[in-house]
Amino acid sequence: MAGIKTPLELYKLLKKTNCGQCRVPSCMAFAVAVIQGQKQLHDCPELNSQVLAQFGGDHAPRTSRSDVQPEVISELQRQVAAIDFTTAAARIGAGLTHGRLAIPCLGRDFLVQPDSTMVSECHANNWVLVPLLHYIIHCQGSDCRDEWVPFGELRGTADWRRFFAHRCEEDLRQLVDAHPDLVFELLTIFGAQPVQGFPSADHALVISPLPKVPLLLCYWQPEEGFDSKLQILFDRSAESNATPEALYLLSRGIVEMFRQLIIRHSKDGKLF
């Protein structure tokens, strides 16, 4: 963020209401998190639009590049448009409907047309669009190995580990802590299946956001003297079927989707 070097400089631009909607306890803590790259300015819903326009560059450029730059999406779409959908369908575990790839993602079919544009019953934002395009291009069709590993143990994830831990696992843990019954009900609706006896987790559920990219969500409830814990594991085959960027964005998309669903369906319409 050009022009802002310290948390105090950023804090002066905030409303200082300590509303907690950014999922940290205070505005000063939010300012520190932004400077450290753990939060982004647009995570503050109370931020003045002029401030956001002037300083709203993401402090984690590797994260923002695929989130917001249309030229990145255009390049992915160009590559997808050059792929033969007939052979691609079998490779990525998709259907083929009137020349369009039908890819099941989180309980919905996303239809990718030969020109690489996408249609669905629900809104296809960049959290979904970018991972799907990556998936079509890079998925090698490897079968599940039943070898579950943390994101950071997958090949090529070094640049994404810190963002994944904070913006996927930690953010999802906070949502589960606040709304455990609702989150697990939603996971069931999206096809999650329980796994018995996995590392003593209180909840262990497998969900397949993409046909050949299953993930295992493990959650340990808080106990006296111990905080809760949440970990997202991937089958080792994810190294062959998705890029680290796609895995990050896909997981982040799940968090964002749950956040919106909680606001819509929780009793008071609040996240926390």
Closest CA to 75 of 124, 119, 21, 129: 129
pLDDT at site 62: 36
Asked if residue 270 belongs to a domain, the reply is no
pLDDT at 99: 93
Mean pLDDT of 243-252: 92
Same domain for 208 and 154? yes
52 compared with 123, residue with greater pLDDT: 52
Torsion of CA 80, 85, 89, 92, to 10 degrees: -20
| pLDDT score of 201 more than 70 | yes
pTM of the model: 0.73
Q: Which domain holds residue 119?
A: 67-138
59 falls in which pLDDT band (50, 70, 90)? Answer: very low
Is 255 part of any domain?
A: yes
How many structural domains compose the chain? 3
Higher pLDDT, 24 or 191: 191
The mean predicted confidence, pLDDT, of the chain is 85
Within-domain flag for 2: no
Please list, in sequence order, all residues whose beta carbon lies within 8 angstroms of the beta carbon of residue 70, skipping any fewer than 6 positions away: none
pLDDT number for residue 197? 72
The fraction of the chain above a pLDDT of 90, given in percent, is 51
If you average pLDDT over residues 221-230, what whole number do you get?
92
pLDDT of amino acid 123 = 57
Gyration radius (Cα) of the chain, Å: 19
**Between these two residues, 204 and 36, which has the higher pLDDT value?**
204
Say if 143 falls within a structural domain. Answer: no
64 pLDDT more than 80: no
What's the confidence (pLDDT) of residue 71? Answer: 72
User: Is the same domain home to 180 and 223?
Assistant: yes
The pLDDT-based confidence of 112 (bands split at 50, 70, 90) is very high
Task: Please check whether residues 55 and 161 belong to one and the same domain.
Answer: no
Kindly state whether residues 81 and 159 are assigned to the same domain.
no
Q: How confident is the model at residue 61 (pLDDT cuts 50, 70, 90)?
A: very low
The pLDDT of 127-138, averaged and rounded, is 90
Per-residue pLDDT at 269: 66
**What's the pLDDT tens digit per position in 141-183?**
999 999 999 999 999 998 888 889 999 999 999 999 999 999 9
Whichever domain contains 155, its CATH number is: 3.30.310
Residues 14, 97: one domain?
A: no
Average pLDDT over residues 86-102: 95
* Long-range contacts at 101-107 (CB < 8 A, ≥ 24 apart): 101/136, 103/132, 103/135, 103/136, 103/210, 103/211, 104/208, 104/210, 104/211, 105/132, 105/209, 105/210, 106/190, 106/209, 106/254, 106/257, 107/189, 107/190, 107/191
Higher pLDDT, 215 or 57: 215
Whether 43 and 16 map to the same domain: the answer is: yes
Q: What is residue 81's predicted lDDT score, i.e. its pLDDT?
A: 95
pLDDT band for position 52 (cuts 50, 70, 90): confident
Domain closes at, from 93, 117, 138: 138
